[in-house]
Amino acid sequence: MKKLTKNHILRVMMCMGIGLCMVCSITMAQEKSDEDLKKEYAPILGEYEFDSGGEAFTLKFYIEEGALWADSGDGRPATMKPIEDEVFAFTAEDPISGLFEIKFLKDDQGEYTICHVVNASMGLDIKGTKIK
């Protein structure tokens, strides 16, 4: 068995350190600022009103702390994660209500004014309209 020298161990540690720095730099470069996210998601940000069997509620979509959030006003805003290869389609996980699928749709004028929310475990499948 080959004996490792201090020099060899030092080189290995340096390579590992450089690799770690590179990974951290790439990760930081991939994160977007709130301003960048606001520009990217501008067409869908705002408040949407939903009517669930005569009972109205609103959802607010906003950018904060480098993420897109959905807030129903229940004190548990949820981070929205983009669904790969879909435009303005997301998932959001709530610890109590489970997984939501949220898709923003264009109206007849080509503007994103419709929000479609589905939660299979709750039997929820509803569309809302942008109010702000």
pLDDT, one tens digit per residue, over 102-115 is 999 999 999 999 99
pTM: 0.75
| DSSP helix/strand/coil, 128 | strand
- Asked if residue 124 lies in contact with residue 51, where contact means CB atoms within 8 angstroms, the answer is no
- The tens digit of pLDDT for each residue in 14-47 reads 544 454 444 333 334 458 899 999 999 999 999 9
Counting Cα atoms < 13 Å in the Cβ hemisphere of 46 gives 16
